[in-house]
Structure 1
């Protein structure tokens, strides 16, 4: 028998898998399009390497997408939020017990 908690965990895990799949799709499109840009650049204007700029700009976006999907927020990530929520809940619980 599945509990509501099991269902919630399954739902969260399924959403995480969906986000990871989206990131890998984004990464694959990034690689393919930038290889195409490189080909066009070298074929038509090899003296000026312009393909570098869209690659850097888009690469920054892919980097931050990966950070979000794989939960590696160095400052205010999901773990930080959950710790703060727990901290505030515990403080509130202590205040209530103090006045009981």
Structure 2
């Protein structure tokens, strides 16, 4: 793998920071909305508690978002390795020389 230029490092750092900030915002909305749902469910709408269903569904989405940001997209380099494999495959298929 080639060393990154300062511009590439800055671009990649901004992209990763934006992805992490997006997850933090997602988590904050998850907490706020689910607290609101808990308050609403305690006021009425029957005696059966219905709030665990949206909490679990949205929680799974939040978990998958976190996995994609912190495990796959961040420090592991998995995405970069996959991109490099795809580049190599395309170069072989189309006969392009390696830079």
Q: What SS does structure 1 have at the residue aligned with 2:17?
A: helix
Question: How well do the aligned residues superpose, as a CA RMSD in angstroms?
Answer: 2.5
Question: What's the TM-score, normalizing by structure 2?
Answer: 0.70
- 1:31 to 2:31 alignment: yes
Q: Which runs of 5+ in 2 are unaligned?
A: 93-99
Which residue of structure 1 lines up, in the alignment, with residue 79 of structure 2?
78
Question: What's the TM-score, normalizing by structure 1?
Answer: 0.69
Which residue of structure 2 lines up, in the alignment, with residue 44 of structure 1?
44
Larger CA Rg, structure 1 vs 2: 1
Deviations 1:52-98 (A, max 9, x none): 1111111111111101111348xxx4155157469x58xx7xxxxxx
Deviations 1:2-46 (A, max 9, x none): xx7111011100110011001000000010000100110111146
Q: How many residues align?
A: 83
